[in-house]
A and B are shown apart, each in its own frame.
Chain A
Amino acid sequence: MTDITIHYSYIIIIILLAIGLYGMLGKRNLIKKCIGLTIFQTAIFLFFIEGGLKDGGTVPVIDPSLGVEAINYINPLPHVMILTAIVVSTATTGVAMALLLKIYRKYNSLEEDVIMERMKE
């Protein structure tokens, strides 16, 4: 039980991942799929941020009063990786929106069923 209460954030991350996956694969509206994708990506960012956390660690800039012991500082690598991943996810959302614009101009709808119907014509 204590494990669950300490690591409650991982459960939230799993719930977010599930919501995102459901949004992408279960919803028929293309915008909702996009929203699902963003939630899914954000959950992964949270996973990295949570994993990078360290009790008693501080900003990784050497502080003379703390010394150079690595134990006193947080590893900045997960945050840096996530910064890159955020850029990637923003770009993905941008491309997705551009595609949706192109689709909407042609088919006048963002419902997958309607688009399928109109594609056959």
Chain B
Amino acid sequence: MIEHLPALIPVSLILFAFLAGFLRLVNPRLSRYSAILGALTAFVFSIVVTIDVLKNGSISYHFGNWPPPYGIEFVLDTLTCFMVLVITGIGSTLLMFPTKPGFMIDEQQQSPLYTLVLLLLTGLCGMVLSGDLFNVYVFMEISSLTTFALVSLGGPKAAVASFRYLIMASIGACCYLLGLGFIFFTVGSVNMADVLQLLPAVYDSPSIIGGALLMITGLGLKMALFPFHTWLPDAHSYAPPIVAALLAAVQIETSAYIAIRLLLNVFTPALMSDLLPITQIIGWLGAAGIIFGSVMAIAQTNFKRMLAYSTVAQVGFVTLGLGLANPLGMVGGILHILAHALMKSCLFLVAGSISHHSGITNIQDFQGLGRRMPWTMAAFTVAALSMIGIPPTAGFFSKWYLLLGSLDNNNWVFLVVILASTLLNAIYFFRLIEKIYSPGDAQVEAGTQSKDLPKNMLVPIIILAVAILLMGAVSVWLVNNLLMPVVGGL
């Protein structure tokens, strides 16, 4: 049993996806419970696998007992474990949020919501676990296809946004496939470990540079790296809250993780920097994205749209860490994946529940909400402080490592960008926090005295907020045990 766990993580998700689909015909509520159960099962499996990896070192799982260069392989090192934990953990917490406010449609309505969500999680886990380049493509497409359907649930405007996203994401996937072709025809293998060994012999071949560029461009389109971010604000702000949270928290970040994996374990930075400073280019694009996303977020009046633009900025942090290409910077970037996943999903859930509960979507209507919804707004404040990067919240630690990484490289521009983005974040979140806790309109307040959210909506929000606070305490452990073993060798 234990040796099959790597495969069981996506398999359990996919089995429960179909179970949820069938149960929906019997009772929509059962479908939701089975989805939660499926995600939790995968989460438990990931915890068990992580403990095993920490004890016995990396696992390589061979499908059908075919050894790696010929067979399909799942590779689990500590970094993979970290990502799988983030994906399944955030996924199961988000699924606990009730259907109606979470997807903006009734449970009774005829759409296999939970099947789609679990398939999305399957795709993401598969991308992370997969040890060969082509399976990454296949799982990436599974996650993308379900995303298009999920985004379009948000209504006709969301369908238009989803179609645009479909075009951009498909260009991205095609670029990745084309680049994969370049690599495959040059070295004759698609297994990551195998490619890593075969590459040095053919390193000066232009098709390797072309292939690497195409693959990274494709992933850049998928993760909304700065000049390719155009599809993101529409798709994320029109999507239903749970979907927006899933996309911003895990889907975007998984593509970023694949880019990190490629540059770390396939085209190693040391070799790549002689030919083409690809990590530096990515880092600079990330820095540009941070500034652009933050400035655009300040200009927004709609809360969800502001969060969508801030996602553009936050992806910038992950790629900036990648661009630094030193252990501390990498750790900061990867830690920011977790920090961003926690705080952005918390914020999107708050946005969704406020708009469901009191119909508020615009920032100027937030006046006095702190009095009416004390718990929700406390969670919101924690997430907002974490976005700014105030200790002891999660956002502080990832930014701290990024700062140390930029100091290590003597990269003063990145240092200034990180500090400037903190200021810009402070501008748009303190503006909100001030509104929330200033006394509201007395008449409105008298009518809707202290009506906080119902418990079932509040629980996932509070879980995420507590996790943001706790992450500070465990971040040192995470860095020493999960991240450093993989990126420390840079």
Contact = CB atoms under 8 A, between A and B. Distances in A.
Interface of A: 17, 21, 24, 30, 33, 37, 40-41, 44, 47-48, 51, 75, 77-78, 81, 84-85, 88, 91-92, 95-96, 98-100, 102-103, 106-107, 115, 119
A106 B159 contact: yes
A75 B178 CA distance: 18
B228 interface: no
B166 A92 contact: yes
B145 interface: yes
Per DSSP, are chain B's interface residues mostly helix, strand or loop, or mixed?
helix
Contact of A51 (B148, B177, B185): B185
Interface of B: 134, 137-138, 141, 144-145, 148-149, 152, 156-157, 159-160, 162-163, 166-167, 170-171, 173-174, 177-178, 181, 184-185, 188, 190
Per DSSP, are chain A's interface residues mostly helix, strand or loop, or mixed?
helix
Contact of B163 (A17, A30, A88): A30
B174 A99 contact: no
B163 A24 contact: no
Given A24-B167, A41-B170, A84 B138 contact: yes
Contacts of A44: 174, 177-178, 181
A96 B151 CA distance: 12
B145 A103 contact: no
A107 B137 CA distance: 34
Given A95-B149, A99-B159, A115-B160, A24 B166 contact: no
A33 B149 contact: no
A91 B159 contact: no
Contacts of B184: 51, 77-78
Contact of B159 (A48, A75, A77, A102): A102
B40 to A, nearest CB: 28
A24 B138 contact: no
Contacts of B145: 88, 91-92, 95
Contact of B171 (A24, A75, A102, A103): A24
Contacts of B185: 51
Given A33-B163, A100-B163, A103-B160, 17 more contacts: A37-B171, A41-B174, A44-B181, A77-B184, A78-B181, A81-B134, A84-B134, A85-B137, A85-B177, A88-B173, A92-B144, A92-B145, A92-B166, A99-B162, A99-B163, A106-B159, A107-B160
B159 A96 contact: no
Contacts of B178: 17, 44, 47
A107 B156 contact: yes
Contacts of B144: 92
A15 to B, nearest CB: 15
